[in-house]
Structure 1
Amino acid sequence: MERERIEEVVEDAAPVEMLSALFAARGWAHEQVGEDEISGEIPGSWTTYQVRAIWRTEDNVLQILCMPDTRVPDGKRRDAVELLALVNEQLWLGHFDIWSQGGMLLYRHGLMLGDEGLLSVDMAQLAIESAVAECDRFYPAFQFVLWGDKSPRSALDAALVDAAGEA
């Protein structure tokens, strides 16, 4: 249903315009931060994620950032970085990172768009949904390390077992 509502507004479009139409069709709170950036909040299974998309015209690259409200305390940084490496081994697209300023956990993925720099409805939905899905998939592992005092390996194993057992 959302796809039809979005297509009524626009077919392929500039990335920020397309994402704005997608966010509006889904009823997600959002704002256009600038001509080349949009920010919004998307509910996930575990938390609400802040999602930002930044368009780089010179490269025709759209960067998607999905951030749970999770900061890595200095005392947990080493274990969190080890978990990041283990988690990133599981990913085909995108990666998790910790911003050096403020210790914010985030998922980042870049989309290279064609020469026209246009984003389709399907690609917009897939990019946002997959970012939220990956954050949901690994959110428990980060919580286990940061607040449950599990080792990175046991946290990842526990999170992947829990995810596989959900119906």
Structure 2
Amino acid sequence: MTSLALHEDETATVSNPLDLVEQVIAGNDWMFDRRSDAELAAEASGKWCDYGMFFCWSDEISIMHFSCAFDMKAPAKQRGAMYELLAKANERLWIGHFGMDEETGMPVYRHSVLLRGVSGSAESVEDLIDIAVTECERFFPAFQFVLWGGKSADEALDAAMLECAGEA
């Protein structure tokens, strides 16, 4: 049986992963603001809308929290339907989850990464961002169908997740 206890000299010091995030964001020529050693905000253009990304690093617990907010807001009267859609969308995700900012009604993709003993890599940051934007792009039409098309969560997901086959 392998022991999970590590000796003090075997643990790696975690550098600030926001340095890697900044390199990846700058490499994509996206606008960003490094607010502090613990926070970085960026904006990326997607197929459907612009996405507001926020990265937060906690040195105390070695976690990087990441969120990717949609450029859309759910009016108060439609938030019940949006919450149902978020729950159903989350069932289809392997990593991260969708939520909604209570104050603004803005849908948000969120994910946190434990980095204790790991320095991270540019590739892992690229993957994190790519997965978030891909999932946001994939579900954006469903959010639109609920908000502006008056569809139920099930109808919106069925229409948005339709796989096209063949050639036009």
- What's the TM-score bracket when you normalise by the shorter of the two chains? 0.7 to 0.9
Asked if structure 2 preserves the Cα contact closer than 8 Å seen for 1:13 and 1:120, the reply is: no
Distance 1:25 1:128 in 2: 13
- 1:82 corresponds to 2:84: yes
> What one-letter code is carried by the residue in structure 2 that aligns with 1:88?
N
Asked if structure 2 preserves the Cα contact closer than 8 Å seen for 1:51 and 1:67, the reply is: yes
Asked if structure 2 preserves the Cα contact closer than 8 Å seen for 1:14 and 1:119, the reply is: no
Provide the TM-score with structure 1 as the length reference: 0.87
Provide the TM-score with structure 2 as the length reference: 0.86
Q: What's the secondary structure of 2:157's corresponding residue?
A: helix
For 1:1-167, list aligned pairs within 5 A: 14-116=16-118, 118-161=119-162, 164-165=163-164
Structure ID, larger Rg: 2
Q: CA deviation at 1:59?
A: 1.2
The CA deviation string for residues 93-150 of structure 1, in whole angstroms up to 9 with x for no partner, is 100001122222100001111325x220111100011111110010000000001111
The CA deviation string for residues 43-62 of structure 1, in whole angstroms up to 9 with x for no partner, is 11111101110111111111
> What one-letter code is carried by the residue in structure 2 that aligns with 1:165?
C
- Stretches of structure 1 that go unaligned for 5 or more consecutive residues are 1-11
Distance 1:13 1:130 in 2: 23
What CA RMSD, in Å, does the superposition of the two structures yield over aligned residues?
1.6
Q: CA deviation at 1:74?
A: 0.8
- Stretches of structure 2 that go unaligned for 5 or more consecutive residues are 1-13
> What one-letter code is carried by the residue in structure 2 that aligns with 1:160?
M
> What one-letter code is carried by the residue in structure 2 that aligns with 1:85?
A
Q: CA deviation at 1:92?
A: 1.0
